[in-house]
Amino acid sequence: MKIITWNINSVRLRMPLIKQLVAEQNPDILCLQETKAEDHVFPALDLKSLGFTHLAFAGQKSYNGVCILSKVPLTNIMTERFVNDDKRHIRATLPNGTELHNFYIPAGGDIPDTKLNPKYDHKLRFVEEMTAYFTKKRSKKDSIIILGDFNIAPLEHDVWSSKQLQNVVSHTPPERERIEKLRASLAWVDSARHFVPENEKLYSWWSYRNQDWRKSNRGRRLDHIWVTPVLEKSLKATQTLVDSRDWASPSDHVPVIIELKK
């Protein structure tokens, strides 16, 4: 089974890129974030025409929005609210019983100070509530996948310069501490780092502000796919589609892929 996560930055605007991705990668499941489309205008028919006959989506105008597009049946579709925030989470159960959670964690604004920046405080509390949710309601023995745009680059080589970005939101110590507590909560396996050593640079996002993103290569790894320990042996491969950052009118994020043995 091939699963892809991608912050699409508008599902309707970037429908041509979704078609290109599906043609090239043929995923079984595609999870998108920042769909930016209310449910009544979500392009369900266009996506079903690509083979995704099972859809789960929750969206709003201009902001947020998440969806799960699947070629296999989805059951128990639900959304949860973290810090009373909406349209940032959706979950479904796959035919084999695995629970799939798609998250869009808040970006957190620009100032890494909870008193000066309510958005940063909101982000930290969002991750804390995620941790509490999985600690109280799930077990490391359960078969679960969580993925999406976490908006946090947790490791030193998940950013172009850990030293220079230590006070930049997405790589600050409070964010990294909280995302590590989340990871430890169910002993989650970071699928990308399962295959790519932690001392190798690995990014999934490059700012639009970089005129030549490839030359400067000042990226961050903000997009993640984690699995509980019972799924670790099923991990077959991972890929980060760096070249998609050069596609026409691209998202600033690129797709991240895992393949699981059936």
Q: Is-contact 106 125, C-beta < 8 A?
A: no
Q: Domain containing 209 — which CATH number?
A: 3.60.10.10
First to last CA, the chain: 6
What is residue 85's predicted lDDT score, i.e. its pLDDT? 84
Residue 262, pLDDT above cutoff 80: no
Number of Cα atoms under 13 Å in the Cβ half of residue 254: 22
What is residue 86's predicted lDDT score, i.e. its pLDDT? 85
Which run of H or of E encompasses 182? helix 173-185
Range of the domain at 96: 2-260
CA proximity to 98, closest of 239, 228, 261 = 228
Q: Is-contact 154 180, C-beta < 8 A?
A: yes
Residues paired with 66 in a beta bridge: 33, 58
Per-residue pLDDT tens over the stretch 116-163: 999 999 999 999 999 999 999 999 999 999 999 999 999 999 999 999
CB neighbourhood size of 122 (10 A): 18
- Percentage of the residues of the chain whose pLDDT score is greater than 70: 100
What is residue 59's predicted lDDT score, i.e. its pLDDT? 96
Which pLDDT band, with edges at 50, 70 and 90, does 211 fall under? confident
Strands 2-7 and 29-33: parallel
- Percentage of the residues of the chain whose pLDDT score is greater than 90: 98
Per-residue pLDDT tens over the stretch 172-194: 999 999 999 999 999 999 999 99
Q: Is-contact 25 4, C-beta < 8 A?
A: yes
Residue type, 148: G
Which residues, at least 6 apart from 232, have a Cβ–Cβ distance to it below 8 Å? 189, 194
Which pLDDT band, with edges at 50, 70 and 90, does 67 fall under? very high
Per-residue pLDDT tens over the stretch 16-57: 999 999 999 999 999 999 999 999 999 999 999 999 999 999
Q: Is-contact 22 51, C-beta < 8 A?
A: yes
State the Cα–Cα distance between residues 238 and 260, nearest whole angstrom. 9
User: Number of folded domains in the chain?
Assistant: 1
Positive or negative, the Cα torsion across 191, 195, 199, 202? negative
Tokens of 10: 């508008």
